[in-house]
Chains A and B, each alone.
Chain A
Amino acid sequence: MKFQVEREVLAEAVSWTARSLSPRPPVPVLSGLLLKAAAGTLSLASFDYEISARLEIPADVSEEGTILVSGRLLADICRSLPSAPVDVETDGSKVTLSCRNSRFNLATMPENDYPELPALPQVSGVVSGEAFAQAVSQVIIASSKDDTLPILTGVKMEIEGDLITLLATDRYRLALREVHWRPNVPGISTSALVKAKTLNEVARTLGGAGDLNIALSDNSELIGFESGGRRTTSLLVDGDYPKIRSLFPDNTPIHATVETSALSEAVRRVSLVAERNTPVRLAFTDGQLSLDAGTGEDAQASEVLETALVGEDITVAFNPHYLSEGLNAFDSKFVRFSFTSAPKPAMITAQDDIDGEDRDDYRYLVMPVRLPNP
């Protein structure tokens, strides 16, 4: 095998494919990247039995062939090469990589031992990469990082016709985001549970190249994503996702609108004195929201903001981390808090004008911290 390709193109391709390599490969060949040179294109692939990644880049191929080399090492080398064309040539069981005056000899692994990558299922529809990436980043914060409930480490994708609903929860908060797409099959109705980490990678690395194809397999074991020549597949998380949509309150007699950035900043400041496991309190009264955190003699902080309150005065306390993460996910000028009563979950939604209506395409539900009776 022999080919030449520009360093920038190669480095980007290698680092993207190497991303999905397992940090602890159970089989040595899985630490490798499979490089296939054929008729003007170089294809790169990685696989860890769960996630596969593939992409093709144009290359000046003078001799076709396939090799398997250590992915981490190749990624490190490509990243540090000078900006010049890179020549790659096999020499027996070795591969030589040369770029300007640098030369690297790498050992290759037997490519025959490499498992076959799962095929990308048939494309089910197209979503705007940017919109999808934003949606994913908004729900991912609520997903669980705790292995005791593996199901909650996933993000649920519910697909009904031209609407994808993303749901994530760690049982303390819940995020729901709706995003429109163009399904190939009208009236499609299906769902998939994808690991939050995987979906995050997809959003970050495939969301920037325009349209994103989503491919769902018929046996609902696999999901595939494709954008800008990059293809990735992942096994789905097995199990029944809890029915969490009903957790959103039906009736919220109290709601308050606050400027997002001002509140987000205030929460960040006030929670500096909130020690581990202590909440930040939000007291909404007519026209005024006062935040405070900290107790007793140690340290206390408070801040006052403007708010538009409808309904009775209410004081609620939140885990500052859950509150800030939620607020940071909003890019609207205002956010609306909807309450049933102080100990019940509070819903946060986006709002464009202080006295307008809220949007319901993104909803963040958070469980307040119970306050001791005053």
Chain B
Amino acid sequence: MRLIIAKCSVDYVGRLKAHLPLAVRLLLVKADGSVLVHSDGGSYKPLNWMSPPATVRTTTPAETELEEGVQEQWIVQSSKTDDRLIINIHEQLHESHHDLGVDPGLIKDGVEADLQRLLAEQIHTLGDGYTLIRREYFTAIGPVDILARDPHGATVAIELKRRGVIDGVEQLTRYLALLNRDPLLAPVRGVFAAQQIKPQARVLALDRGIECLTLDYDAMRGADDSSTRLF
């Protein structure tokens, strides 16, 4: 990772054109060849950037540019397209190199997979007497998140979402149509479980005879502090 703070102007040339006038900015040159131009604001988004793979060439500016005060010109050429990022450096204020090594990656908390694992472990959240058949029950059109059995022995297909919107209900409807053709499983009932269920999704689900279940993720993972409550 190479960090440079410089007074520069930046031009993107190729499928589209964009110009950043002269100002002090942070330039990031990453080990994968990508170059990012950041201002001191605008959150995590760069002002402009070149995605990898790309190569950086440093050239001596042309006569006219020298007169304008350009000390150094970078041409960041995309290896896949004709797109180029041209950075005209007028004054370099800081430069440093760091070897960051391999990043372990972002671990998100509360994703669908966590919900699936927790609900499979705590299948009683659906009601007393429910038992788990399996997670990721495979069908020809994709895996059903959880297949369970209700207290009366009937099969229940559960679709899990963090945010329950209409798409999730549609998805579950497709699974239910398919599962109900299996004489060994039919009749299969649907449960749409999410941390938050949008009103439209709820109406559609109930109209199709699908039960809605709002999940409390904190309570499921045991992060719930019941000492602040009456019970």
Given A24-B200, A148-B216, CB of A244 within 8 Å of CB of B231 = yes
**Is A267 an interface residue when CB atoms closer than 8 A count as contact?**
no
**Is B215 an interface residue when CB atoms closer than 8 A count as contact?**
yes
Q: Which residues of A contact B200 (CB under 8 A)?
A: 24
Interface size on B, residues (CB 8 A): 16
Q: Is the CB of B214 within 8 A of A148?
A: yes
Given A148-B215, A171-B229, CB of A24 within 8 Å of CB of B199 = yes
Smallest CB–CB gap between B97 and chain A, Å?
A: 43
- Sorted nearest first, the 3 A-B pairs with minimum C-beta distance are A26-B207, A148-B216, A147-B214
Q: Is the CB of B231 within 8 A of A171?
A: yes
State which residues 200-226 of B face A: CB under 8 Å: 200, 203-204, 206-207, 214-216, 219
Q: Which residues of A contact B215 (CB under 8 A)?
A: 148
Question: B203's contact among A24, A244, A365, A369, by CB below 8 Å, is which?
Answer: A24
A149 to B213, CA, bound (A): 9
Number of A-B pairs, beta carbon distance below 8 Å: 39
Q: Is the CB of A345 within 8 A of B199?
A: no
Q: Which residues of B contact A242 (CB under 8 A)?
A: 231
* Residues in chain B within 8 A of chain A (CB atoms): 197, 199-200, 203-204, 206-207, 214-216, 219, 227-231
A247 to B230, CA, bound (A): 7
Question: A367's contact among B199, B203, B228, by CB below 8 Å, is which?
Answer: B228
A333 to B116, CA, bound (A): 53
Q: Quick one: closest A residue to B227, CB to CB?
A: A370
1/0 contact string of A16-31 vs chain B (CB within 8 Å)? 0000000110110000
Given A26-B206, A26-B207, CB of A173 within 8 Å of CB of B199 = no
Q: Which residues of A contact B216 (CB under 8 A)?
A: 148-149
**Is A172 an interface residue when CB atoms closer than 8 A count as contact?**
yes
A169 to B229, CA, bound (A): 11
Question: B197's contact among A26, A147, A169, A369, by CB below 8 Å, is which?
Answer: A147
**Is A174 an interface residue when CB atoms closer than 8 A count as contact?**
yes
Q: Which residues of A contact B206 (CB under 8 A)?
A: 26
Q: Which residues of B contact A23 (CB under 8 A)?
A: 199
Smallest CB–CB gap between B150 and chain A, Å?
A: 14
